[in-house]
Amino acid sequence: MVSLKRWYLLSSVLWVALSSVCPAVLAVGPEDAEQWNVKGSITVSITSPANNTYVPINHTQVLTASASDPDCYRVGTTWYDYSDDVTSGETWEDYHMDWGAAEGYFTEMYGTSATYLAPDYSAGYNVRDVYVCVQADDYNRGTDTFGANDPGDAAEMHLKVWQVTVTVSQVHSQSPNNDADDLLTIWGGTTHGWIIPGTPAGATGYHGNTEITGSIPEGPGVTTGYTWAHFRKGIGKYQDGGGWHDLDNTPNWVADGPYGYYDVDSRHPNGVTDVRQIFMQDPPGATVGASNDDGIAAGWTDLSFQYDFKSRVMYGGIRISNEPEWETKFVLDVVEGHWHVVSHTP
């Protein structure tokens, strides 16, 4: 009869002997592959944003996608599943996924995530249907050396790139949809175009009253968050016996305003029905008083006001509109101690 102690010793010796003859079996991996094969096609899908998402011009949109490529490899007579790499890499040297668009471009275009920059304003294209796609390939790049080579796959979607169209009016009266405060009566109030002292009643200056409208397309449903940006350039000067002298000389565009005469809620009345319009009002000109003689300094014979303006709509601090230029220009001379119009635009 073998004692327990002796049996333990014999077992230990036997285990050591067998271990020296049969080393531990290592796990099989792709590095051991004797043959590769395709188990399923590459598939790719865009996971965000949703198809037909609205993106303002000049804005960015992050897109994400996923992809898979089921392959298999053989070691001996046994086949093993393998998920081939079709997603890694974010540079030209190592990418497996790359993005493209019919308009605009990608500031980051490789990998499962990309950043799309929408194009700038284009007249007549208030909403553009922009085709976007992503492709996944299993080409061996970088540290990727495994897998069977099979055709790539692509997914596509459409983005709705939208813009605001700005128009300028220097005629008629203030739009009924404009909820901005009326211009001061001394500037002409709700009357647009050329203003002179007394016409309309209460006006005390020469002004080119202007209403700027931003028209928003149907679809985005964005009613607030807009801002106006406004610029001017030009020259104001006077003439006396010694010739013309500058009062202001601004040859390059500079910010003008803000004045507070803005309606940046596209609903009318504000907060109610979306009429898809926003407004800005500007009364450039010179105030000369009810008697039409303010500002005439000794020796002055003429006054010239020659200014160009341009206006744009901003959203999130980025321009989302065209930027039309317009002007208010006039020349006054002095007749019997009062201002007299020589020429004017509008």
| Residues 106-127 pLDDT 10s | 999 999 999 999 999 999 999 9
Q: Does residue 177 share a domain with residue 157?
A: no
Whether omega for the bond prior to residue 151 falls within 30 degrees of 0, making it cis, is no
Rounded Cα gap, residues 40 and 45, in angstroms: 16
Q: Does residue 330 share a domain with residue 222?
A: yes
Residue 294's DSSP bridge partners are none
Cα 282 to the center of its chain, rounded Å = 26
Rounded Cα gap, residues 130 and 142, in angstroms: 32
CATH number at residue 119: 2.60.40.1080
**pLDDT (average), residues 23-48:** 89
Note the pLDDT of residue 26. 67
- For the chain, the domain total comes to 2
Rounded Cα gap, residues 199 and 290, in angstroms: 11
Kindly state the percentage of the chain with pLDDT values over 70: 92
Q: Does residue 45 share a domain with residue 111?
A: yes
Note the pLDDT of residue 142. 72
Residue 213's DSSP bridge partners are 167, 279
Q: Does residue 316 share a domain with residue 334?
A: yes
**pLDDT (average), residues 148-163:** 96
Note the pLDDT of residue 28. 92
Note the pLDDT of residue 157. 98
Note the pLDDT of residue 145. 87
Q: Phi/psi class of residue 89: alpha, beta or left (left: φ > 0; alpha: ψ in -120 to 50)?
A: left
- Residue 4 above 60 pLDDT? no
Q: Does residue 220 share a domain with residue 116?
A: no
Q: Does residue 146 share a domain with residue 181?
A: no
Domain boundary, last residue among 103, 133, 162: 162
Domain boundary, last residue among 162, 196, 222: 162
Note the pLDDT of residue 7. 35
Note the pLDDT of residue 143. 77
On whether the pTM is more than 0.85, the answer is: yes
Cα 318 to the center of its chain, rounded Å = 6
Q: Does residue 68 share a domain with residue 183?
A: no
Q: Does residue 272 share a domain with residue 140?
A: no
Q: Is residue 8 part of a domain?
A: no
Q: Does residue 242 share a domain with residue 149?
A: no
Q: Is residue 4 part of a domain?
A: no
H or E segment to which residue 206 belongs: strand 205-215
Q: Does residue 185 share a domain with residue 153?
A: no
pLDDT band of residue 70 (cuts 50, 70, 90) is very high
Find the domain containing 88 and state its range: 31-162
Name the 3-class secondary structure at 78. strand
Q: Is residue 10 part of a domain?
A: no
Task: List, for residues 164-183, the tens digit of each pLDDT value.
Answer: 999 999 998 999 999 999 99
Domain boundary, last residue among 162, 177, 196: 162
Q: Does residue 42 share a domain with residue 156?
A: yes
Q: Which of 95-104, 141-150, 151-160 has the lowest mean pLDDT?
A: 141-150
Q: Is residue 172 part of a domain?
A: yes
**pLDDT (average), residues 30-37:** 96
